[in-house]
Amino acid sequence: MPYPPYFTEEHDRLRESVRRFVEKEVKPYVDEWEEQGEFPKSILRRMGELGFLGLRYPEEVGGQGGDYFSSIVMAEELARCGAGGFPMAVAVQTEMATPPILKFGTPEQKKQFLEPALRGEKLACLGITEPDHGSDVAGIETRARREGDGWVIRGRKLFITNGPRADFITLVARTSDEPGYRGISLFLVEMDRPGVSVGRKLDKVGMRSSDTAELVFDDVWVPAESLLGEEGKGFYQIMWELQGERMIAAAGAVATAQYAHELALAYAKERRQFGRPIAGFQVVSHLLAEMAVEIEACRQLTYSVAWRFARGEVPSKEISMAKLAASQTAFWVVDRALQIFGGNGYMAEYPIERLWRDVRLNRIGAGTDEIMKEIISKEMGL
C-alpha cells in the first residue's frame, strides 16, 4: 500500500524480502522460541547476512545505507511473526543499544561494538532501568568511579532485554556526585568482564521469545575508552536514544494492531453462529470498522512524525503522541480482536492470545503512558 512521500519502490522490495524471511525463517519457529524463553543467536547472524540489522546505517560501518523508513518497514514486517518478543529483541539490537554508538562513538568503538552487532555476531542490550529507578532516569544509582586509567562500575540493572546472553551492554551510569541528570554518562561494557553477572532471568507474562534479566555489576573495571561520548552528557544522550526507541515502538504497535485486525477479520468471516458468519452481525462488522479507523489514524500519525525524525528533527512532543496513541490503540484493538474470537481467543492454540499478552508491554516499555502524557503536557506549557 503506497504512502508517498514515505515509501518508494525500494521500500516495497525490502518489505517483500523481509516478509519472505519472516514467513520462512521466523514464523515457523516462534512457538518453540516462546516455550524456550529465547530465540537462537543464529537467527540474528542470519539477519546480519541478509543486511537486515544495518538497514539505515551507513555503509562505512557495515550498514546498507538506507533511510529511516527502512527501519519502519522492518518493524512492521517483524510484527507479523505472531510473537512480540523476537521483534522487540531485534529492535534493541538495531534501534536502542547501537544508535548511540553510531552518533557518539569513536571509530574504535564502532569497529569493536557496532560493526559486529550489525553483522549479528554480537548481541547487544541497553541498561537504563534499575530496581529502584524506572521512569526516573535522572535518579539512577549505578555508579562508575575513576580508578587508574579506567573506571569501576557498581550497580544493578533490571528488565534488560537480551541481558542473559548479550555480548555487550550500552550502560547508563552515574559518574559524579552531582544530583539529577548532570552526573550521568554512557559506557560500552563487555558482558564477559569480571564482576558482570546475571542476577536472575525474569519470567514475563508475554514477550516470552526474548530473554530478560536483572544484571549485576560488582566492581567491574573497564578501560577509559569504554566511555561513550562525553562524560556527564549521558542523560542527554540517552534522552536522544529514547526518542528513536519510542518512534520504532509506535511503528511496531501499529503493525501489531494491523496484524490482529487481519486475524479477527478473517475469523469473523469464517466463524458461523446462528446460521451465518459472525461478520454479518452489525455489532461485529461495526467493531471491525472502528478498529480499522483507529489503526489508520495511528499509522498516519506515526508516519508523519517518523518523516520528521528521518530528517533530523527530534519532535519529542509528537513522538510521545505517536507512541502513546499507537500503544493504547494496539492494546484496544488486540483486546477487541480477542473478543471477536470469543472463547477460542483465550486458547493457546489461537495466535490472538499471545498478541494480547505481548501488546500490554507497549504501554510500559520505552516510557509509560503516563510519562508520555507528562512530556506532552509539559510541551504544551502545563
* Buried residues in 179-193 as b, exposed as e (16+ CB within 10 A): eebebbbbbbbbbee
Spatial distance between the Cα atoms of 176 and 183, rounded to a whole number of angstroms: 5
Please calculate the CA angle 22-26-27 and round it to the nearest 5 degrees. Answer: 85
Q: For residue 349, count CB atoms less than 10 angstroms from its CB and return exposed for 0-12, middle for 13-18, buried for 19 or more.
A: exposed
- For residue 173 the three cell numbers come to 551510569
**In this structure, what are the phi and psi dihedrals at residue 133, rounded to the nearest 5 degrees?**
-145, 110
Strands 168-174 and 124-127: parallel
Task: Give the phi and the psi of residue 126 in degrees, each rounded to 5.
Answer: -125, 130
Strand duo 150-161 + 143-147: pairing: antiparallel
- Between CA 17 and CA 345 the distance in angstroms is 30
User: CA 237 to CA 240: how far, in whole Å?
Assistant: 5
* Positions marked catalytic: 245
- CA separation for the pair 167, 277 (Å, rounded): 51
